[in-house]
Structure 1
């Protein structure tokens, strides 16, 4: 069976390999892989920056943004052949911490979780894969062209859940949202904002290409000016930050409305310095009851939230996020970024 594999921590080791066909366990689905989304995490693993192979193995099957069709389901599993499914990425550690033991494995406190296609478990980048029935989520059949957007949608579903939990420490009725970054995470965060009936603004540095049109088609407003200027005028109640760029992060924190909430989903690169007035940031956050929270990964609850959000989204708009598709045999091409890329997808079901 053909699969996309990597030798973690070794740059330029990405290749299409022949691997054994999977054999499902008694409580596992056998799934025909349809498509795989590629994100920044995958590209970092491909550059040799991190990643962990399964125990006693040198190579890892890459891929965590899954989409497949059930080929075989165990009896009484609530799944059946033909179901469109995605697989959850993270698994709780075998000796779980408190959050993992209570199903909140996205909030693992001891770091001994594992992740499909990232940390110690093979991913979904193969012609077929298996997944435990407890870690599979069914999708609306009409989402087959775009279902690989499920995993990034879970990330922003969790982010929005965190925002509402923090906001509800007191009376909370946000009106205006600013999303920083118009990559897949940012655009999907904006989609959830629009679905909530919020006035939605998206900030990105691109002035041409597909991103401005995608934002406008969503019914949101697109901006490309400096963060301080844009956020200073808007005074958003909520910021979903999806760039990880230091100046954007602190520009957003400094320019929310009172009782503003900034949710950080972008991971900043290490080794870059930024001069800020820490005292001024602290003073403003305290006096305005502001909050900043980091959010990463998702648990099973967020997968179901994401499935519901995608099911009621406009299919043409979701399709516009996928700007390039490549077959599995040419999968390394998906790791070379092009100027107009938003989401690049690897087609697992077709040949070269």
Structure 2
């Protein structure tokens, strides 16, 4: 079969090449790969900034944003041939830590977890792949190839799960949300905020292209000014930060509401320095009972919540998130960002490219 591969730590090693077909272990699902979403983590691995091959191998099959169709499934697994599925990315560490032992492996405490297509496990970027039933998520067939959005949606499902848990520490009745960044994570964050009946504001630097219209189509308000200006106008109770831009991160932390919640989903580049009045920042966080927390990855429960959110969304709006579909043989082109990109998808099957 063909697969999208990289040799972690080696720049310029991205290839589409033939690799042996997977052999499902006892109890595993064998799936036909349909589509693969591309994100910044994939680009970082290709740039040799991250990623680990499975033990004893120098090759990593890339890809963690998956969509496949079941070919074979074990009896009693709850899956049948023809089902659309996505695979959970992370696996608990082998010790396990207390969080992993309770199924919360996205909150691993000892850093010994593994991740499909990222860390010590082959990914889903191949024409065939296998997955354990307990890490497979059934996709509503009406979504078709839009099911490839499940993994990024799971990150926001987790974010909202934790926002609501934090809010329950006291009286919690949010009305307005500010999302900084209108990439896939920010837009899916805006979607889930609107699904909760909240007034949503989205801030991004671009003023043209698909992003402003995608925001407006949700019934949300698009801004291209600054965090401080939007906060003064909208007075959000919750900020979901999805840019990873250090200056925007600190603007969100400095301008949130009293007893507000700031959820950080963007990963910032390292070795970028800002002058910050840390004393004033600490003062307001303490005196206002603010909460600032980070979130990444998701567990099985969050993937299931994300599957529900996608099934409830307007498929026409979800379709607008996919700006390019690239065939597997041209997959390296998908790793090269373009100005108007939102979400780029590699088609592992011809039917995805003709959808």
Q: Which band: TM-score by shorter chain?
A: over 0.9
TM-score calculated relative to the size of structure 1: 0.99
Give the whole-Å Cα distance in 1 for the aligned partners of 2:271 and 2:305.
Answer: 36
Which residue in 2 is equivalent to 1:207? 207
TM-superposed CA distance for 1:187, in Å, is 0.2
Which residue in 1 is equivalent to 2:165? 165
Which residue in 2 is equivalent to 1:337? 337
TM-superposed CA distance for 1:145, in Å, is 2.5
Whether contact under 8 Å (1:116, 1:124) holds in the other structure is yes
Which residue in 2 is equivalent to 1:318? 318
User: How many positions carry a matched residue from both structures?
Assistant: 352
SS at match of 1:344: strand
SS at match of 1:146: helix
Deviation digits for residues 119-176 of structure 1 (CA, Å, limit 9, x no counterpart): 0000000001000011001010011131110000000100111111111100001000
- What is the correspondence of 1:1-352 to structure 2 with a 5 Å cutoff? 1-350=1-350
CA RMSD of aligned residues (A): 1.0
TM-superposed CA distance for 1:94, in Å, is 1.1
Whether contact under 8 Å (2:156, 2:188) holds in the other structure is yes
The ranges of structure 1 where at least 4 consecutive aligned residues each deviate by more than 4 angstroms after the TM superposition are none
Give the whole-Å Cα distance in 1 for the aligned partners of 2:287 and 2:50.
Answer: 40
Give the whole-Å Cα distance in 2 for the aligned partners of 1:235 and 1:280.
Answer: 20
In structure 2, runs of 5+ residues without a counterpart are none
TM-superposed CA distance for 1:83, in Å, is 0.3
Deviation digits for residues 239-270 of structure 1 (CA, Å, limit 9, x no counterpart): 00001111111111111221110000001111
Give the whole-Å Cα distance in 1 for the aligned partners of 2:277 and 2:197.
Answer: 35
Give the whole-Å Cα distance in 1 for the aligned partners of 2:27 and 2:277.
Answer: 55
Which is further off, 159-168 or 30-39? 159-168
TM-superposed CA distance for 1:235, in Å, is 2.1
Give the whole-Å Cα distance in 2 for the aligned partners of 1:160 and 1:75.
Answer: 35
TM-superposed CA distance for 1:350, in Å, is 2.5
TM-score calculated relative to the size of structure 2: 0.98
Whether contact under 8 Å (1:177, 1:199) holds in the other structure is yes
